[in-house]
Structure 1
Amino acid sequence: MQSGFVLHSRAYRESSLLLDVFTLNFGRLRLLAKGARKSKKGLHALLQPFVGLRLSWTGKGDLPILTDAEAAGTGVELSGSKLFCGFYINELLLHFLPSRDPHPEVFHLYRSTLDQLATDDGVERILRLFEVSLLGEMGYGLSLDRDAISGQPIDATKRYVYRIEHGPVENDEGIAESVGGATLLALEQKTLNAPDELQEAKRLMRQVINYHLNGKRLKSRDFFKQVTKDRPS
């Protein structure tokens, strides 16, 4: 059996589920869980996001069939805003991971990030570091420590414009959408903590991720915005 997580599931026909799973040795793939919604073994309740699983399946076509699933230890319990954070990182994996291409480093990163979300209140820092690491593993690594034009080390006291295809360039022209050198270095060194750095890093990473999504929208972002908009003040 293979270690894995359910990233997303949806109903299929009368009693089955279509599962997008992320596995240690086979990467991201889609499985058909026949009869899972009416299973007397509690399979539907087991096949949920953020639960470490052991999975087996059969078939080599486009839609292999799940043959067995069991819990691998205790699941991660996320609630409130942390639950939306979990859905967000799942959606990033669905967009960025190529199908059936193993990425064990990303698998371990994902599992570690879930553990951090469950136990650490610094969710903005956790998300930014996950985003930077994921993009790096996918071949979209950010240049954060040197000016893309001069080649000089980033100066924590200066401000930069981040050109996604090249990297940071000193903001000599006073462009409003700039990022502090201290923020770039904190991202590079994984030491984000200061509120202003977290805010700038969030804006920068959204810009970079949107660029690589090529116009695709993240449903988790939209859903979170709607929920917080409708929440009573």
Structure 2
Amino acid sequence: MEWREEAIVLGVRRLGETSVVAEVMTRARGRHLGLVRGGRSRKQQPVLQPGNSVAVHWRARLDEHMGAFVLEPLELRAARLMESGVGLNGVQLVAAHLRLLAERDPHARLYDGLQIIVDHLDRPELVAELMLRFEIALLEELGFGLDLERCAATGQRDDLAYVSPRTGRAVSRDAGAPWHDKLLTLPAFLADAATASDAESLAAGYRLTGYFLGRHVYEPRGIDVPDARAGFLSALRKIGVAA
């Protein structure tokens, strides 16, 4: 069994004296693990850094085996990503998000989102919104998508201001007014593509996705929120991108 595909490195772990197990994300084959012989060598270590794009050749005797990777560099971003807290925490956070998915399940939409994020991690003003939209897409891929297009109570599409913490559906300002203290804030830029995000609305957006990730993903699985999420948001706050 074998295949070849482009991938983005998510992480590695040591195996023996000279080898590593590499974790990559591919478009057609999802998150995939493979043995890299000699992965701890001076030649391979720069290639196997999270955020790098590589050409992968995977081979195994049977499809269900972990198999072995031969990796060739395509784009080495790691040195640039490590220059800032946003970049360093951002690449760790998006990798942690992808580990919530079953191994080898294809998620082409998330792979495309990952590609855009790693290309823009040195631009905090862009990646702040990109990562938030990635979290929304992740919830959808996990089966917990939010309905932010129309009011759950009236069906209207304009003046959406809240999200029900119970259903994940949007609620208009008027319909939600009597219960506004029990509803989550829906940032205007998530409901209206013509509205730009700012520090306050981004912070509200991350509170929104954080709530549903906690409720539907972290708490049921008995796992903690990744430290990289707090680190990423803290790095954004330090430079004034998020409140």
1:69 counterpart residue number: 71
Q: How far does residue 164 in structure 1 lie from its aligned partner after superposition?
A: 4.7
- How far apart, in 2, do the equivalents of 1:200 and 1:161 lie? 11
Residues 162 and 43 of structure 1: CA distance in aligned 2, closer, same or farther (over 3 Å): same
**1:171–1:178 CA contact under 8 A, matched in 2:** no
* 2:104 aligned residue: 100
- Residues 1-233 of structure 1: pairs in structure 2 closer than 5 A: 1-37=4-40, 39=41, 42-59=43-60, 60-66=63-69, 68-75=70-77, 77-78=80-81, 79-82=83-86, 83-95=88-100, 97-156=101-160, 159-169=161-171, 170-175=176-181, 178-180=184-186, 183=187, 185-190=188-193, 191-215=195-219, 216-221=223-228, 224=231
- Superposition misfits of 4+ residues, deviation over 6 angstroms: none
Deviation at 1:69, TM superposition (A): 0.9
Please say if residues 160 and 171 of structure 1, whose CA atoms lie closer than 8 Å, have aligned partners that are also in contact.
no
Identical amino acids, percent of aligned pairs: 24
TM-score (norm 1): 0.81
Give the letter for the 1:2 counterpart.
E
Give the direction of change, closer, same or farther, for the CA distance of 1:54–1:203 in structure 2 (3 Å limit): same
Secondary structure at 1:5's aligned position in 2? strand
The amino acid that maps onto 2:54 is: L
CA change 1:53–1:202 in 2 (3 A) is same
Root-mean-square deviation over aligned CA pairs: 2.7
Question: Structure 2: which 5+ runs fail to align?
Answer: 236-243
Distance of 1:121 and 1:102 partners within structure 2: 29
Aligned-partner SS, 1:124: helix
Taking a change above 3 Å as real, the CA distance of residues 162 and 62 of structure 1, as seen in their structure-2 partners, is farther
What's the offset of the Cα at 1:208?
Answer: 1.4
**Structure 1 residue runs without a partner (length 5+):** 229-233
For 1:86, what is the secondary structure of its paired residue? Answer: helix
